[in-house]
Amino acid sequence: MRVSSSRVSSLLVWLAGVPALLFSLITWQVVSHGPLLGVDRDVSRVLLRPDRGSELLADLGNVQVAVPVLVVVLGYVTWRGRAAGRDRWWPAPLGAAGLMVLVPVFVVPLKEWTARHGTAAVPPGVGYFPSGHTATAAVAYGAATLVLLPWLRTALARCAVVGVCAALVLGVSYGLVRRGYHWPLDVVASWCLSAVLLSSLWLLLSGPGRSRRRSSSGTASSRSGPS
């Protein structure tokens, strides 16, 4: 399905513009030690209850867990695209992989610049803003979902995949705050950053040529979507 340019522009305002604005606001509060940090500490104090369950949830945001999931999905999508004879099977997996590479490119310098201290549950140090585990989980699971959705035949399957993705990201986020690995604002900021990154992938997947397939004669046919 093609998306009109006006609809794309409107969606991008909400999917990328609003999260970017919120991310800028939160970052400003962190570097200027603004009043929002007081609310952040209060919320953390309520939620902070380190236990084994929260640690396991937080571990779902590890690179060693989230990235292999993305790799498996990209391998499957690549196989399906080539098997279906799509002319442009490569933008989706390549775009998702590139997005994953961009996570540390954005997160690491921000950690160095903001130099935010951690909660009382972690050793003294800085570099906790934004949450790398949250960004890793959101981009890995989110990108896997976006590239997989076009290959799912039923609405129920698509809803199930989106639900699993949301549960994983929220589980990681809750675990990080509950265990005390991050302040709530560290996590929310990573949600915003990830939303901006995933919006760019969504735009790529919605662009022209997404549904082109090769016919038996080698020319593109008008049939859209995977079979």
Residues 89-122: tens digit of each pLDDT: 888 999 999 999 999 999 999 999 999 999 999 9
Question: Does residue 134 surpass a pLDDT of 50?
Answer: yes
Residue 6's pLDDT is: 62
Quote the domain boundaries for residue 182.
5-208
Given this model, what pLDDT does residue 215 score?
A: 38
Q: Using a pLDDT cut of 90, give the percent of the chain over it.
A: 75
Q: What is the CA 16 to chain-centroid distance, rounded? A: 12
pLDDT at residue number 219: 39
Q: Rounded to 5, what percent of the chain is helix, strand, coil?
A: 70, 5, 25
Phi-psi bin for 225: left (phi > 0), alpha (psi -120 to 50), beta? left
pLDDT at 193: 97
In a domain, 199, yes or no: yes
Residue 213 is classified by DSSP as E
Q: Which of 7-11, 67-71, 127-131 has the lowest mean pLDDT?
A: 7-11
* pLDDT for residue 224 is more than 70: no
Burial (0-12, 13-18, 19+ Cβ within 10 Å), 133: buried
On whether residue 100 sits in a domain, the answer given is: yes
pLDDT of residue 17: 87
Assess if residue 144 is contained within a domain.
yes
In a domain, 69, yes or no: yes
* pTM, two decimal places: 0.87
Q: Write the pLDDT tens digit of every residue in 31-71.
A: 999 999 999 999 999 999 999 999 999 999 999 999 999 99
Number of domains in the chain: 1
The sign of the torsion formed by the CA atoms of 185, 188, 194, 195 equals negative
Task: Please give the average per-residue pLDDT across 152-180, as a whole number.
Answer: 97
In a domain, 23, yes or no: yes
